[in-house]
């Protein structure tokens, strides 16, 4: 069943947001869960995407994605009034929310998207929330205003210092852990960034939850593409996650598996861009 795009906007360089009709997903979705979509039902790749919000009454979900490969580029080229071929979800386990006390939420790049509804739920549970938001540069920051409206305190860092503090999100995270020692930390972003954050929170013995962004195909655990190792045991991100104890994740193995797919993704993206140039669309 095709899913109509009602609204679409560009949030930052290569980052987009869209409101899409998906009534069954909207009815069942909870923070922490995601969907898998196909842009094209003829030769389309299946990709997992974050659901940022759902309107049960309107039957719509809000998606945020970054244009990094062929399929995300195809999705970015769609306009309101056009449709996505297929959406499956909600998938994965919802985020476990409770009252911890002081919670730090750390987002790297487009990781701010899945953390937005999670941070809101954590705040609604009565927790004090410190939000740390990072990106490579000002033009790649997203959701600053929305996260600032939720969190008790927002700390923004960019790698080049073009907005907020200069440096990685590990700088303010270590500062907060050293000076205030939070009761729980949530981290979502690139694998190497999550690994670095977990190394800090492990030193301060702060429980840490991460949301993993592995390769996925079917979303049911059958393909094995999302396999990771947690506490020495094989887990599948699509059915056992996407959230895990960050101190138990073998990030080195996860990073190696991600790298194995990266060259193929870049090649497909370049072919798609070349095709658009040939037919005069860019």
Q: What is the pLDDT of residue 47?
A: 87
Helix 191-203 / helix 170-179 crossing angle, nearest 10 deg? 20
Q: What is the pLDDT of residue 270?
A: 47
Q: What is the pLDDT of residue 267?
A: 53
- Each residue's pLDDT tens digit, 229-281: 899 999 988 888 899 999 999 988 888 888 766 655 555 444 444 545 555 55
Q: Which residues contact 203 (CB under 8 A, 6 or more apart)?
A: 177
C-alpha–C-alpha distance, residues 97 and 137, integer Å: 31
Q: What is the pLDDT of residue 220?
A: 67
Q: What is the pLDDT of residue 263?
A: 58
Of residues 275 and 7, more confidence is placed in 7
Would you tell me which CATH number, out of the four given (2.40.30.10, 3.30.1340.30, 3.30.1490.20, 3.40.50.970), belongs to the domain 3-91?
A: 2.40.30.10
Whole-structure pTM value? 0.87
Eight-state DSSP code of residue 38: E
Q: What DSSP line would sit under 264-278, residue for residue?
A: HHHHHHHHHHHHHHH
Candidates 26, 24, 86, 17; CA nearest to 60 is 26
The proportion of the chain whose per-residue pLDDT surpasses 70, expressed as a percent, equals 90
The proportion of the chain whose per-residue pLDDT surpasses 90, expressed as a percent, equals 72
Mean pLDDT over 13-21 rounds to: 95
Q: What is the pLDDT of residue 269?
A: 43
Q: What is the pLDDT of residue 274?
A: 52
The overall longest dimension of the chain from CA atoms, in Å, is: 57
Q: Where do the structural domains in the chain lie, given as residue ranges?
A: 3-91, 102-258
Would the pLDDT of 153 be above 90? yes
Q: What is the pLDDT of residue 64?
A: 95
Q: What is the pLDDT of residue 280?
A: 56
Task: Kindly report the CATH number that applies to the domain delimited by 102-258.
Answer: 3.40.50.80
- Each residue's pLDDT tens digit, 161-183: 999 999 999 999 999 999 989 99
- Each residue's pLDDT tens digit, 182-195: 999 999 999 999 99
- Each residue's pLDDT tens digit, 88-142: 999 999 999 999 999 999 999 999 999 999 999 999 999 999 999 999 999 999 9
Tell me the pairing of strands 102-108 and 86-91: unpaired
Q: What is the pLDDT of residue 272?
A: 42
Q: Do the domains spanning 3-91 and 102-258 agree at the CATH topology level?
A: no
Task: Report CA 245 to chain centroid distance, whole Å.
Answer: 17
Q: What is the pLDDT of residue 106?
A: 98
Q: For residues 39, 22, 89 and 43, what is the CA-based torsion angle, rounded to 10 degrees? A: -20
């Amino acid at each position: 069943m095709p899913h109509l795009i009602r609204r679409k906007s560009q949030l930052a360089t290569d980052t987009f947001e869209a409101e899409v009709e998906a009534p069954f997903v909207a009815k069942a979705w909870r923070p922490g869960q995601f969907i898998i979509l196909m842009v094209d039902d003829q030769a389309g790749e299946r990709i997992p995407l974050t659901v940022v919000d759902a309107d049960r009454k309107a039957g719509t979900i809000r998606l945020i994605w970054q244009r990094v490969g062929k399929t995300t580029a195809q999705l970015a080229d769609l306009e309101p009034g056009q449709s996505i071929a297929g959406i499956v979800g909600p998938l994965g386990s919802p985020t476990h929310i409770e009252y911890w006390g002081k919670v730090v939420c750390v987002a790297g790049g487009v990781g701010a998207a899945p953390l937005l509804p999670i941070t809101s739920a954590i705040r609604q549970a009565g927790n004090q929330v410190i939000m740390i938001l990072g990106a490579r540069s000002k033009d790649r920051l997203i959701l600053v205003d929305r996260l600032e409206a939720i969190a008790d305190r927002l700390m923004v860092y960019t790698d080049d210092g073009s907005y907020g503090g200069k440096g990685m999100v590990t700088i303010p995270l270590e500062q907060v852990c050293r000076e205030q020692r939070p009761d729980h930390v949530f981290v979502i972003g690139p694998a190497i960034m999550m690994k670095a954050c977990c190394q800090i929170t492990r030193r301060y013995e702060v429980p840490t939850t991460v949301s993993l962004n592995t390769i996925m195909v079917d979303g049911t655990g059958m393909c094995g593409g999302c396999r990771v190792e947690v506490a020495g045991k094989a887990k599948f991100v699509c059915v056992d996650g996407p959230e895990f104890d960050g101190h138990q994740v073998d990030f080195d193995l996860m990073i190696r598996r991600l790298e194995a797919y990266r060259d193929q993704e870049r090649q497909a993206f370049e072919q798609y861009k070349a095709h658009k140039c040939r037919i005069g669309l860019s």
